[in-house]
A and B are shown apart, each in its own frame.
Chain A
């Protein structure tokens, strides 16, 4: 006998396909923290429609989240994260959410949505530095709820084009300059080979003392 779970309002609410999408997000660890990069394109199919899309969201002073996939779902996720952060602020207990906790939270959100057959069509990258232990953290969560953590992570096309470069050249103790040039090399490859990409990108870094900095 086949057991099927019919989700509530199945016909009205299920995400069938993404519309406005972002492509690769790259993240690597370096000596002082973590570095994340992505381009600023919101593609509508093959059309390069929105060229000023911020796909990196600063959650708090220790964590950033980058997304590829459906932009509207990412905006929803950013809202959830902002509510989380405000709640954290109001607890007023001297603790802030660490990157690991935010990663765990997003895993749960995405996995539960996938179980309802109504996924958030995103591949997310959570990166940051744990303020108490000083450890860098990079984690990835996909729309199916698959998650893992590593020293370097990429989504979408970056998986095929950038990760070989990272595997070869990334080291946990590389300097910021080396990390930035590695990132730029990876972005260059993506721009050459990925058809829906543009040459406008942002770099975001998180360091233990200085917190989050996102370039323009």
Chain B
């Protein structure tokens, strides 16, 4: 990896001769090597999923939270450097609260995404800071319907039906493109997400799945999927994977 951008990669305020900003690209690499994170926008809500790799066997369950509420109707999941992620989530919560006090209504998904993107972008402009090594996925459900946005470390935001980042993103994106997300309900998507996560997870170390949804079912409130339901969904997903493996080996 060394030698690729020698000289032009020391600060984010420097362009390389071929027009690349290496620091931003390196930030993206931080995201690419983190646990897989998925987002799916369905017809009745949005689902966010994170693969929490087992850092240590001594870690308590449910610690190392990756999904966060931004407001009652919106949430986020982060991939990459979790400390950076928390800083962004803090800012997003502030923006949402600010919007509410000023305009008297819940912040629309696109406005929130815009604000977070602008914030992330600022850290790609000046030499005395470094970019966030985080991809943030924002889910929201308001009168504009369910929406899913992703903001990358360079500060670009896009709206998605389905998106995956992190180690298993290639496989995950493949699987996601096979699904008809616009016709699925969040319940069905939960099962699909669990299945994809288990399929693309590689390595002997275990992982904890964290799922969060904003949907009609939760009254359009952001809610993390509870342990009981999570276990149910994961068990069903694992069973389905085994069944498929059996089919393939026939």
Verify A89–B72 contact, CB threshold 8 A. Answer: yes
Distance (Å) between the CB of B69 and the closest chain A CB?
5
Give me the interface of A with B, judged by CB distance under 8 Å.
Answer: 83, 86-87, 89-90, 92
Verify B93–A90 contact, CB threshold 8 A. Answer: yes
Verify A92–B72 contact, CB threshold 8 A. Answer: no
Q: B interface, by DSSP: helix, strand, loop or mixed? A: mixed
Chain A residue numbers with a CB within 8 Å of B224 are 92
Give the contact-size bracket for chain B: 10 to 19
Verify A89–B97 contact, CB threshold 8 A. Answer: no
**What are 20 A-B residue pairs whose CB atoms fall within 8 Å in the complex?**
A83-B97, A83-B100, A83-B101, A86-B71, A86-B72, A86-B97, A86-B100, A87-B97, A89-B69, A89-B71, A89-B72, A90-B68, A90-B69, A90-B70, A90-B71, A90-B93, A92-B65, A92-B68, A92-B69, A92-B224
Chain A residue numbers with a CB within 8 Å of B70 are 90
Q: A interface, by DSSP: helix, strand, loop or mixed? A: helix
Distance (Å) between the CB of B175 and the closest chain A CB?
29
Give me the interface of B with A, judged by CB distance under 8 Å.
Answer: 65, 68-72, 93, 97, 100-101, 224
Task: Give me the 7 closest cross-chain CB pairs, A-B, nearest first.
Answer: A90-B69, A90-B93, A92-B69, A89-B72, A89-B69, A86-B72, A86-B71
Distance (Å) between the CB of A213 and the closest chain B CB?
16
Nearest A residue to B65 via CB reads A92
Distance (Å) between the CB of B221 and the closest chain A CB?
8
Chain B residue numbers with a CB within 8 Å of A83 are 97, 100-101
Q: Provide the bound-state CA to CA distance between A83 and B72, in Å.
A: 11
Nearest A residue to B104 via CB reads A79
Chain B residue numbers with a CB within 8 Å of A86 are 71-72, 97, 100
Nearest A residue to B89 via CB reads A90
Chain B residue numbers with a CB within 8 Å of A87 are 97
**5 further A-B pairs in the complex, CB-CB below 8 A; given A83-B100, A86-B72:** A89-B71, A89-B72, A90-B69, A92-B65, A92-B69
